[in-house]
């Protein structure tokens, strides 16, 4: 009887604690039309407007956190800066508006029309960084905002998981770089 009971309990424990695959990431359901590159084979480009030049090192670092995965999971992401705006699929600009509570905003375009990422793919995206809000954040958190916006531009929506770069800063984001679930989200879209 004892044997059977312990067997039953073991099975139950296995069911409850077995690390089944679960996801915190949320996808828009659409993506960058021509993808995020394919590491080692082909790449995509991003472009910095003059106004975003002051964030150039942080933008590069933020990209590196997406390209060089910190976890065992790798992604196809391959992006490099270009001085040719036309060749780029993600642009960066900045503005200075203290009345705006946002530190970063991402806009999605198909040709020259803006689109909702839940409704259609986008050919390119523009990321706006708000100097007036970023200046109150540490450089790590500034980089986190940029990585967050890059995540949007590639197709990831907000989630409430503090250990995901796609959690909003105001809602308690505790990482300035993408973590396992964020990479899983990218792979769910582009692999």
In Å, how far are 108, 149, 166, 173, 184 from 117, measured between CA atoms?
Answer: 7, 13, 15, 23, 19
How many residues bind other proteins (CB under 8 A)? The answer is: 67
Check binding of 46 to other proteins (CB under 8 A): no
Check binding of 181 to other proteins (CB under 8 A): no
**Pairing relation of β-strands 124-130 and 90-95?**
parallel
Q: How far is the CB of 6 from other proteins (least distance, A)?
A: 10
**Residue 178 in contact with residue 75, Cβ under 8 Å?**
no
Check binding of 112 to other proteins (CB under 8 A): yes
3-state SS class at 184: helix
Nearer to other proteins, 80 or 118 (CB): 118
Residue among 118, 170, 117 at smallest CA distance from 148: 170
**Residue 121 in contact with residue 32, Cβ under 8 Å?**
yes
Q: How far is the CB of 19 from other proteins (least distance, A)?
A: 10
Q: How far is the CB of 28 from other proteins (least distance, A)?
A: 7
Check binding of 107 to other proteins (CB under 8 A): yes
The site string for other proteins over 62-101 (x = CB under 8 A, - otherwise) reads -----------------------xx----x-x-x-x-xxx
Residue among 172, 184, 102, 107 at smallest CA distance from 136: 102
The site string for other proteins over 25-44 (x = CB under 8 A, - otherwise) reads xxxxxx--------------
The packing angle between helices 56-67 and 139-154, to 10°, is: 60
Considering only 2, 21, 41, 84, the residue that binds other proteins (CB under 8 A) is 21
Considering only 44, 61, 65, 159, the residue that binds other proteins (CB under 8 A) is 159
């Amino acid at each position: 009887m004892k044997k059977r009971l312990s067997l039953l309990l073991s099975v139950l424990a296995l069911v409850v604690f077995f690390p089944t695959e679960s996801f915190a990431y949320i996808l828009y359901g659409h993506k960058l039309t021509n993808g995020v590159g394919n590491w080692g084979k082909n790449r995509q480009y991003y472009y910095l407007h003059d106004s975003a030049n002051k964030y150039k090192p942080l933008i590069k670092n933020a990209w590196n956190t997406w390209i060089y995965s910190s976890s065992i999971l790798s992604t196809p992401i391959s992006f490099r800066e270009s001085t040719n705006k036309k060749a780029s699929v993600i642009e960066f600009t900045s503005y200075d508006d203290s009345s705006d509570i946002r530190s970063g905003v991402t806009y999605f375009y198909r040709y020259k029309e803006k689109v909702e990422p839940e409704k259609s793919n986008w050919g390119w995206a523009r990321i706006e960084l708000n100097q007036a809000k970023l200046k109150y954040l540490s450089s790590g958190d500034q980089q986190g905002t940029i990585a967050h916006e890059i995540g949007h531009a590639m197709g990831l929506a907000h989630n409430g998981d503090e250990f995901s770069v796609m959690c909003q800063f105001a809602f308690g984001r505790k990482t300035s770089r993408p973590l396992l679930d964020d990479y899983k989200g990218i792979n769910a879209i582009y692999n």
